[in-house]
Amino acid sequence: MTVLRWLDRPVDQGVTWGVPWPRGTAARDAAFALAEAGGREVPVQSWVTATWPDGSVKWTAHAMGAHDPAESYLLEPGREPAAGPRVTVERADGLLRVGTGVVTWTIEERGGTLARSISRGSREIARDVRLVSLRQSEPTPDEGGGVPRERATGMVERVTVEQDGPVRAVVRLEGRHGDWLPFSVRLYFYAGAEDVRVMHTFVWDGDVERDFLAGLGLRADVVMRDEPHDRHVRLAGPEGGTTGFFTEAVRGLTGLRQDPGEAARRAQIEGRPAGELHPEVGDRLRYIPTWNDYTLDQSSADGFTLRKRTAEGHSWVTVPAGTRSAGYGYVGGVSGGLGFGLRDFWRLHPTRLDIRNAATDLATVTVWLWSPSAPAMDLRFYHDGLGQETFEQQLDALEITYEDYEPGFGDPHGVARTHELTLRAHDATPPPADLAAHAAAMNRPGLLAVTPERVLEAGVFGVWGLPDRSTPAHAKIEDRLDFLFEHYVREREQRRWYGFWDYGDVMHTYDPDRHTWRYDIGGYAWDNSELSPDLWLWLQYLRTGRSDVFRFAEAMTRHTGEVDVYHLGRWKGLGSRHNVQHWGCSCKQVRISNAAYRRFYYFLTADERTGDLMDELSVPEETFLVVDPQRKVREDGYTPDPSALSIGLGTDWGALAAAWLTRWERHGDERAKDRLLGTMAGIGALPHGFLTGSARLDLATGRFDTTRDDISISHLSSLFGLPEMCAELIGLGLDVPGFERAWLDYCRLYLATPEQQEAEVGQRLTGISLVQAHSRLTAYAAVRLEDAELAAWAWRKFYLDEGDQRNRNPLQRRRDDWEVTLVDGPTVLSPVREAPFVSTNTASQYALAAIHNLALIGKHLTEY
């Protein structure tokens, strides 16, 4: 029996979560029952998301419907789930009707809507839920001025029912925003729920020189039945604590020269029927303006404006503005209405909420993912190339700005962005406290999780352990892990790492002279998963179970899996190295699209969109036909050859292995299994194993040429998930001849003395760098070989950067003074607390080395 606790507790919301199982403990066809800790059984829907090599269940996903949540739950395999309210899915006459028991959505198989109608009982609440967009053929002029805009409605081309209950139903709609921008929308329905979660993903397929997105939104019409003074508008104020709301009626009864009566005034503010009005007011209602239109515009992470007007053709009246709107609203009346919103509204600015025609029989709401008030989206490359036409010039430029530029490669064609929205059908205007709870649930959706101890017991995700403060030395490392996470949370806020394309990423390297990150310098700007901050954050969540760590890692996975990776076009399946623009670097590699960075979020949440991202890598080896990652530095005349593809055994093979393993675990894909095991055997058969550096892969057979007798290593080979992936593969007990030996040799020798390297392989290894990061390899070998001296050597290398041939780590040199410093005054834009010795490369790799070493050789730390 498994105990489940709330990571974030929901309000009146269905929930989906993932659970890991130790090998051999759950059968593939096992049923699961769910009960509150107090004993009351709760209906649950369960499915398998991954299996172990022996066929037993490794990960399951579970869903429960909307109900008053208990403090904790117990999940038990081998028992049938309780019966209860069901989601129903009916398909007939070109329509799909999905009912939760509270609301019913009617969905057309094709056409210009995501839903034709939303009803609650027999009453229609909203209709024609649709996607809208605006496009310009040129950028918005610096000094304003009119630019013609083309309006389009998203057209649905295919509808797929991915799940049909009994507790959870998922409907996927695919199409295009007019003649461009392919989209995928998933609608999530839960038994007993009045809200539906809407997951919208679009892929950029425009021409950056002539396509400028000026607006992108979700729109719905809301049926208005009540008198204008019984119609209510609610728009969320600043997020945090208990969210407040702009609380007004379409026709206000407060503040008038004549008093309608306290009962009427109070009722209107509370969203109840105003009832009978004093004749002095009731006879003059026609003179009170009705406010037809409302707009909340979040133009930045720091402020929104709010305005309203009586009708088009009349001026707007400004309403007191605010800071960071929670991004939720309601329009309707005492007989029902629609709640609507966008998760991370202010973090994904520029965004906007519109209500139009509230004084008519059919109001319209629009949740803008890109606000039409903002300048049109401009995705052109940020410089003119600076004369870098040849590889020689590009490599020379790399030495000054660290930017790997190549003409035509800074193209966003194929990148994507995913947004989460909610639509909630009400049978009356909700009380203020309910609205605040709904806004909070939208922005921090409920999630159940098992304890870190239970995840560790399951033996998933390779090497990690629980926090250890057993000695002062252990406690200091734990303190530093906390310091680094809290530093990045603070930096995200101080530096405003927010915005439509940027939220979820962090910067690469700091500039202490300007007291800012190098946001404008080539390859030093946005990090794009360089040296695996994704892995650090997810492992830190696994070991601590902290909600704040989970949410930071979640945002990073959403960003790096969508924005930093190509989902269509010539580079589909590849990601872009770090740059001023997320897609700007000409280095397109699977080390960035790496499935190892997505697996955590998928298995912990069963998120279908993240599953899509990993499915895009079904044949990841074929991406090496598209572009050779080493093309600018090769001297051997190599060009991509299907029968002899050059594959680096570090960053390349590690990402391929992650994709193959994930596909095998999730889908039982025999081809992926064969490629994984075959290449593992090939590495084991190479004379120098991983030290060989690269090998040639035959796409037809999925096998390496094992005749290469060479030694070539890179300091980056192991820093994009290879240690984590090799540990996980070896832990599976796959019995691949030579593979573990090859990996242990690499782990032992990378940080060995030059004399030992020469004695074992006939030469001293060159290019040794990032010593602290690689100490975890030494630690792994120490445990597998049961070598206490090697464990001590690993701790020595963790603390000292001796032997580094390229980059000395500032985190190693600063033994005792990890502190932040306040910088203020006229030389900085605003006061900041900085830690100039921290960069994302060193922070990520320090954290990963610390987590591994504590888990593997923590008992040797005191001895060292």
pLDDT in tens, 726-744: 999 999 999 899 999 999 9
Q: How do residues 633-659 score in pLDDT, each as one tens digit?
A: 998 889 999 999 999 999 999 999 999
Identify whether residues 540 and 654 lie together within a single domain.
yes
pLDDT higher than threshold 90 for residue 805: no
Identify whether residues 585 and 721 lie together within a single domain.
yes
Q: How do residues 714-729 score in pLDDT, each as one tens digit?
A: 999 999 999 999 999 9
Identify whether residues 234 and 210 lie together within a single domain.
no
pLDDT band at 815 (very low <50, low <70, confident <90, very high): low
Q: Say if 707 falls within a structural domain.
A: yes
pLDDT higher than threshold 80 for residue 812: no
Q: How do residues 424-434 score in pLDDT, each as one tens digit?
A: 999 999 999 99
- What is the rounded average pLDDT of the residues 600-625? 97
pLDDT band at 809 (very low <50, low <70, confident <90, very high): confident
Q: Say if 462 falls within a structural domain.
A: no
pLDDT at residue 298 in the model: 98
Q: Say if 60 falls within a structural domain.
A: yes
- What is the rounded average pLDDT of the residues 329-351? 98
In this structure, of 342-346, 502-506, 554-558, 808-812, the range with the lowest mean pLDDT score is 808-812
pLDDT at residue 241 in the model: 80
Q: Say if 305 falls within a structural domain.
A: yes
Pairing verdict, β 195-203 and 72-77: unpaired
- What is the rounded average pLDDT of the residues 337-346? 98
pLDDT band at 238 (very low <50, low <70, confident <90, very high): very high
Q: How do residues 69-122 score in pLDDT, each as one tens digit?
A: 999 999 999 999 999 999 999 999 999 999 999 999 999 999 999 999 999 999
pLDDT at residue 813 in the model: 65
pLDDT higher than threshold 80 for residue 536: yes
Q: Say if 510 falls within a structural domain.
A: yes
Hunting for tokens 């400004």 — which residue is that? Answer: 318
pLDDT at residue 168 in the model: 98
- What is the rounded average pLDDT of the residues 264-292? 95
- What is the rounded average pLDDT of the residues 662-673? 98
Identify whether residues 823 and 850 lie together within a single domain.
yes
What is the CA 728 to chain-centroid distance, rounded?
Answer: 23
User: Angle at CA 835, nearest 5°, toward 831 and 836?
Assistant: 100
Residue ending a domain, choose from 19, 43, 77: 77
Hunting for tokens 């009912």 — which residue is that? Answer: 99
Q: How do residues 152-178 score in pLDDT, each as one tens digit?
A: 999 999 999 999 999 999 999 999 998
Number of domains in the chain: 4
pLDDT at residue 803 in the model: 87
Query: Across the chain, what does the average pLDDT equal?
Result: 96
Identify whether residues 318 and 370 lie together within a single domain.
yes
pLDDT higher than threshold 90 for residue 801: no
Q: Say if 629 falls within a structural domain.
A: yes
422 sits in which H/E element: strand 416-426
Identify whether residues 339 and 236 lie together within a single domain.
yes
Identify whether residues 94 and 46 lie together within a single domain.
no
Domain with 669 in it: what CATH number? 1.50.10.10
Q: Say if 154 falls within a structural domain.
A: yes
pLDDT higher than threshold 70 for residue 197: yes
For residues 651 and 588, the answer to whether their CB atoms sit within 8 Å is no
Identify whether residues 256 and 368 lie together within a single domain.
yes
Identify whether residues 114 and 176 lie together within a single domain.
yes
pLDDT higher than threshold 70 for residue 814: no
Identify whether residues 547 and 671 lie together within a single domain.
yes
Q: How do residues 370-423 score in pLDDT, each as one tens digit?
A: 999 999 999 999 999 999 999 999 999 999 999 999 999 999 999 999 999 999
Distance CA 146, CA 136 (A): 10
Q: Say if 679 falls within a structural domain.
A: yes
Identify whether residues 575 and 675 lie together within a single domain.
yes
Pairing verdict, β 510-511 and 15-20: unpaired
Q: Please tell me what DSSP assigns to residue 830.
A: S
Q: How do residues 740-775 score in pLDDT, each as one tens digit?
A: 999 999 999 999 999 999 999 999 999 999 999 999
The beta-strand segments (E) located in 269-400 are 293-300, 303-309, 317-322, 328-333, 336-342, 351-356, 362-370
User: Angle at CA 639, nearest 5°, toward 635 and 643?
Assistant: 125
Residue 9 sits in which domain range?
2-77
Distance CA 812, CA 833 (A): 21
Identify whether residues 185 and 292 lie together within a single domain.
no
pLDDT band at 862 (very low <50, low <70, confident <90, very high): confident
Pairing verdict, β 41-42 and 88-92: unpaired
- What is the rounded average pLDDT of the residues 442-463? 97
